[in-house]
Amino acid sequence: MTHRNNILYSICIAISLLMLVPMTADAQHYGFHKKKRTAEEQALEDSIPLFRGVAVGFDLVGPVTRAVGDYGNYEVFARVNLKDRYFPTVEIGYGDADHTDDVTNIRYKTSAPYGKIGVDFNVMKNKHDKYRVLVGVRYAFTSFNYDIGPLDISDPVWKDNAVYEAHDQKCSYGWLEFGAGVDATLWKFIHLGWSVRYRSRVHQKYDDAGEPWYVPGYGKKGTSRIGATFNVAFEF
C-alpha cells in the first residue's frame, strides 16, 4: 500500500515539474531580483479589484488511492480569489476505509464526511501571472463511527476462545494542515494544481475500542501524516 502511495506522489511531482518549466522561463523574464516599485506599478496594483473570482474543483489523488487500496477519500473544494494574493478555501470530503489485517485478520470499517477551512497565500512576485505558488494552512475536523472485529481472545483460565467485536464506536478528530503547491492555468478557466500537505493532530476523542485505524480526511492513525493532492479546478 505504501509503495502504491509513493508511486502516486511521484506521478504528482513529475507532472508538477513539467508545470514548473514554463513558470521558470517566466520568472527569468520578469526577474525575481528586488527592485523599487515605480509609480506606474503601484497604480496598476491599486487598480486590481479585491474580488477576482471564485473557483471550484476536485482532488484526484484520493479516488485513485481508494481504487487501488483499502482506504481513500473523495474531496471537492471552493475558493475565493482576493487580489490574486489571498485565497480563502473550504474543502469538503468523504472518507472511506475497509481494511483487514493480514496477520490478525481483524477487519476495520468506517465511512464519514469531513471538512476543512483555511487560506492560501500566493508567494509569486508577479501575483497576476497564470502560475501561482501557494502556501497555506487548514483546520480540519471529522466525527465518525467505526467497526472492528472479529478478534479471537483466548481465556487463560477456562482455555476457550471468545470472539470480540465492536460496532458503532464513536470518534472525533481535529487536525491542522500546512501545505505548499502550484496552481497553473491550463486553458482559459481550467486550472491544474498540486500540493503537499503536512497534517498534525490537534485533538481526538474515541470510545473504549481504542484509536481508530483510519480517520476520514486525515489518513491512517498517528500524530502526523504527509499527504498530497492533485486537483482540477474551474475558476470564474
Give the pLDDT confidence score for residue 103 in this predicted structure.
Answer: 86
How would residue 66 be classed by pLDDT, with cut points 50, 70 and 90? very high
CATH code assigned to 2-31+48-235: 2.40.160.20
Q: How many CA atoms lie within 13 A of 34 on its CB side?
A: 0
Residue with cell 498534525: 200
pLDDT single digits (tens) 152-211: 666 666 666 767 789 999 999 999 999 999 999 999 999 999 999 999 999 999 998 889
Please tell me which residue, 43 or 235, carries the higher pLDDT value.
Answer: 235
How would residue 75 be classed by pLDDT, with cut points 50, 70 and 90? very high
Give the pLDDT confidence score for residue 84 in this predicted structure.
Answer: 96
Distance between CA 23 and CA 38 in Å, rounded?
Answer: 24
Every domain of the chain and the residues it spans: 2-31+48-235
Angle between helix axes 61-68 and 2-30 (nearest 10 degrees) is 160
Give the pLDDT confidence score for residue 12 in this predicted structure.
Answer: 54
Distance between CA 146 and CA 154 in Å, rounded?
Answer: 24
Least confident range of 116-125, 137-146, 189-198, 205-214: 205-214
Give the pLDDT confidence score for residue 224 in this predicted structure.
Answer: 86
Distance between CA 73 and CA 51 in Å, rounded?
Answer: 31
